[in-house]
Amino acid sequence: MRAYAIPSAGTPPALREIAEPTPQAGEIGVAIAACGLNFADLLMIKGEYQEMPAPPFTLGMEVAGRVTSRGPDTDGPPVGARVAVFGGHGGLAEQGCFPAERAVLLPDAMSFTDAAAFQVAYGTSHVALDHKARLQPGETLLVLGAAGGVGLTAVEIGKLMGARVIACARGPDKLDVVRRAGADHLIDARSEDIRDVCKGLGGVDVVYDPVGGDQFKAAFRACRPEARILTIGFASGDVPQVPANHLLVKNLSVMGLYWGGYLKFHPEVVTDSLRTLFDWYAEGRIRPHVSHVLPLEQAEEALDLLRSRTSTGKVVVTTAQD
């Protein structure tokens, strides 16, 4: 089968022919129709992700497709079922084997493209805002990187939870996407001062930050007393240092959020969250924004869209399967 794989440490990924995998106990085999890309895929290519699989491995963290088989003594969705799975890797391929316990049955109306773009982005934002920050109706939420894969879902979910949403993105095109997602106030990161704008709006109660760097520092200074800052990632490449004395003076909380980690030590947080999110999808309250859909042959071009920050929302790679 074809897979966009890294054969050995230090070797760049490429589309290769590899053996089709066979599901082991606890796994299901999936004919992959679509794979959602994430910033973590870029970190894996550089060997910098916090959970690196041993090479050889195939990139692609979240997939959607049809179950083709089950491993020995394995319960799970039946053969033929339409599922989405967060596998952590293995998604940029025509076939894959993934933990059966992570498979989620898809609503009939949900396309494979939507399903592949759904779990990581919406799951991260919902767990962050609901479980971690306990965002309340009427609070002010600042979303950095608001036009990106997770940022855009934070805007949507923040509005659904009753917050006033300030969204920060780069340039008018991205800001238009954020506005259509429901943001109440917009900040152009290219030309406006995040701290000054937020202070002019009365300050913020919750910061959702997948960017880090200077934007984190500006948002930090715009926080009201008892604000909560959610550290989601560092797309800027700059991991900021937190002045602990300022945390003390303003009674601030800084919270790290790694969505995939909950699958190991508190999986019900993820499963309960996904149940809520799939209900919201079925009710038409949320819809993934997918700016680009490319075939598996163009996996490198798809990843370049993330590197160059050209995309908005999610980028999805598809195979020729239904």
pLDDT for 20 equals: 94
- Taking only the tens place, the pLDDT of each residue in 183-194 is 999 999 999 999
pLDDT for 10 equals: 82
pLDDT for 74 equals: 95
Query: Within 13 A of 189's CA, how many CA atoms are on the CB side?
Result: 24
List of domains in the chain: 2-118+288-318 (3.90.180.10), 121-260 (3.40.50.720)
For residues 66 and 21, give the distance between their C-alpha atoms in angstroms, rounded to a whole number. 15
What is the pLDDT averaged over residues 123-139? 98
- Percent of the chain scoring above 90 in pLDDT: 95
For residues 292 and 265, give the distance between their C-alpha atoms in angstroms, rounded to a whole number. 34
Q: What's the per-residue H, E or C state across 11-31? A: CCCEEEECCCCCCCCCEEEEE
What is the pLDDT averaged over residues 163-180? 97
For residues 93 and 96, give the distance between their C-alpha atoms in angstroms, rounded to a whole number. 7
Question: Could you tell me the pLDDT band of residue 203, with boundaries at 50, 70 and 90?
Answer: very high
Task: Specify whether the CB–CB gap between 27 and 97 falls below 8 A.
Answer: yes
What is the pLDDT averaged over residues 57-62? 96
Question: Could you tell me the pLDDT band of residue 98, with boundaries at 50, 70 and 90?
Answer: very high
- End-to-end distance of the chain based on CA atoms, in angstroms? 16
Question: Could you tell me the pLDDT band of residue 9, with boundaries at 50, 70 and 90?
Answer: confident
